[in-house]
Structure 1
Amino acid sequence: MSVDFKTKQLEFTRYIRDPAINPAPADVKTERMAMYRELIFNNIEGFLAGNFPVIRKILDDRQWFELTQDFFSKHRSKTPYFSEIAEEFLDYLENERANPSDYPFLLELAHYEWVEMALSIAKEDIKPNQQPSESLLKHTVKLSPLAWPLVYQFPVQLISPEYLPLEPPGQPTCLIAYRDQDDEVKFIEINPMTYRLLEVVLEHVQIITEDCLNQVAQESHHPNPDLIITGGLQILKDLAEKNVISVCGTG
């Protein structure tokens, strides 16, 4: 008797994804199907727990199982690589998840946790700055490919089982995530002006430091723009020492 392989495959995978609503293939032993289901689901669940440890910690076992099962059953991943499952989980949270009982910061927290993993495996590399930071004003600078400015409504870096905000604070949280020379991923909380400086650098691909500072000072409408320029220059010097920004040639 001929078997339609595609039909049989769909029957098999539908049960694996959600055995609660899909019958097991009639010609495969129940115990074997349960083993397949457990093996595949546990691999996905374990990978998500390892990449989103704070989310796992703030949810109880039932909430975590329901979340991972919902992702497992509904989301159609575009990649076969385990290292990209975390990004697929983000896509699911942003575009498919619809549970009003979820914490309002869930997507932002997931993105924050994903950043650490994504930066740790990023293939880009950087060379330490050779130019002294004292001469930064007349040099062009660019943002390191291993440095990502981030802005969130919630203070995601503070979220824990003891701190679960239901409303965002009045001011957004600005961070810079970067991978250092020892390949360690670090996060720095920054103020909105620093975020804007990095945003301007990123917008221009590379820009003379003085021009960047003048633009931000002008945008700020501060009564004493020299204060913005002086403060901004020191900030960029500090970030250059961490190789968050790369110092290029003179302008």
Structure 2
Amino acid sequence: MGVDFKAKQQEFSAYLRDPAKHPAPADVKPGRMAIYRELFFNNIDNFLAVNFPVLRKLLTDTQWRELAEDFFTRHTCKTPYFTEIAEEFLDYLQTERNHPDDPPYMLELAHYEWAEMAVSIAKEDNPVNPPFSGDWSTQALHLSPQAWPLAYRFPVHLISPDYQPSEPPEQPTFLIVYRNLDDEVRFIHITPITYQLLALIQERPGQTAAACLKSVAEQLRHPQPEIIYEGGLKIVRDLAAKNIILFDAKR
């Protein structure tokens, strides 16, 4: 009864994280500790594999095991929720992982896969635009909380066992991930102009479409801003139809 429970718990968890550096508690059978350790690790390993299926497929069993073990050993998660472990894994890749043999696209691919999961489980309801057939240029625009514009150096949506670029292409990749009214997650490959428009709406919600498109044209220093304006209004209409861009038809 004189056992320091907190110290025993720390001894137990230290072994589970890194049995190579920390001995098992002397009062627990080695075989039992090995089972505990495998159960804990397998939970994390399986969760990562489910949430990052493309990355898992691209790595050999040995490479994946080393990556998952390194995360399990080194990273201190700040959340008790399994649904947030994928974000912890991203933090680990960005701030702690430094392995010369890792694919150069690994962090971006993991972010792309995480974004799909994060949007799918987001708690916010999907807003729906009302019917509208008036002047789109006067509409105050907002970005749906279920729509995220994404920018990557690598074409992460194309990476597969048959396509694994060693260098990023000259042009970056722009995507938007969103959840539709059927609660299905979809990705759209978008142009740099569309990305700038969505990023502007996200940064400055409530501006009219006309004001947003004027700002985009100024940022691009386009010699014919009317082209940006007309094309931009079509983009607004198309994305509003998917409830990616939201507006108030009462204005």
Instruction: Calculate the TM-score normalised by the size of structure 1.
Output: 0.96
Which residue of structure 1 lines up, in the alignment, with residue 110 of structure 2?
A: 110
Please give the per-residue CA displacement for 1:102-143, whole angstroms capped at 9, x wherever unaligned: 111111111100001100110111332114255321111110
**How far apart, CA to CA, are the structure 2 residues paired with 1:175 and 1:134?**
28
Q: Is 2:202 aligned against 1:202?
A: yes
The amino acid that maps onto 1:196 is Q
Q: Residue deviations 1:166-221, cap 9 Å, x none?
A: 11110110001100000111000101000011111112122101111111122222
What letter corresponds to residue 17 of structure 1 in structure 2? R
Name the % identity.
59
1:39 aligns with 2:1: no
Structure 2: distance between partners of 1:216 and 1:114: 29
Letter in 1 for 2:69: Q
CA distance in structure 2 between the aligned counterparts of 1:5 and 1:242, rounded to whole angstroms: 55
Aligned length in residues? 251
Residue of structure 1 equivalent to 2:120:
120
Contact persistence 2:126–2:179 (CA under 8 A): no
| Contact 2:127-2:144 within 8 A present in 1 as well | no
- Distance in structure 2 (CA, Å) of the matches to 1:43 and 1:21: 21
Q: Which residue of 2 aligns with 1:55?
A: 55
* Aligned match of 2:101: 101
Deviation at residue 250 of structure 1 after TM alignment:
5.5
Q: What is the deviation of 1:78?
A: 0.4
- Give the distance between the partners of 1:46 and 1:203, measured in 2 at CA: 36
Kept after mapping to 1: 8 A contact 2:132/2:249: no
Q: CA deviation at 1:6?
A: 2.1
Amino acid at match of 1:234: K
C-alpha separation in 1, matches of 2:63 and 2:133? 49
SS of equivalent to 1:188:
strand
Distance in 2, matches of 1:3 and 1:109, equals 46
Unaligned runs of 5+ in 2: none
Q: Distance in 1 between matches of 2:137 and 2:152?
A: 30
Q: How far, CA to CA, are the matches of 1:237 and 1:142 in structure 2?
A: 13
Native 8 Å contact 1:178 1:187 kept in 2? yes
Q: Residues 39 and 133 from structure 1, CA distance in 2 versus in 1: closer, same or farther, beyond 3 angstroms?
A: farther
Shift in alpha-carbon separation, 1:212–1:85, aligned structure 2, 3 A:
same
Q: CA RMSD in A?
A: 1.3
Q: Supply the AA of the counterpart residue of 2:224.
A: N
Question: Distance between the aligned counterparts of 2:222 and 2:133, measured in 1?
Answer: 25
Instruction: Report how far residue 249 of structure 1 moved.
Output: 4.4
Q: Which residue of 1 is the match for residue 147 of structure 2?
A: 147
Deviation per CA, 1:58-92: give whole Å up to 9, x if none: 00000000000000001000000111100110111
Q: Secondary structure at the match of 1:165?
A: coil
Range with bigger deviation, 130-139 or 25-34 = 130-139
- Which structure 1 residue ranges, 4+ long, deviate > 6 Å from structure 2? none
CA distance in 1, matches of 2:134, 2:91: 43
User: What is the identity, as a one-letter code, of the residue corresponding to 1:49?
Assistant: A
* TM-score, normalisation: structure 2: 0.96
Amino acid at match of 1:205: P
CA distance in structure 2 between the partners assigned to 1:133 and 1:186 by the alignment: 26
Q: Indicate whether 1:163 and 2:163 are aligned.
A: yes
Query: 1:151 Cα deviation (Å)?
Result: 0.2
Per the alignment, in what secondary structure is the counterpart of residue 177 of structure 1?
A: strand
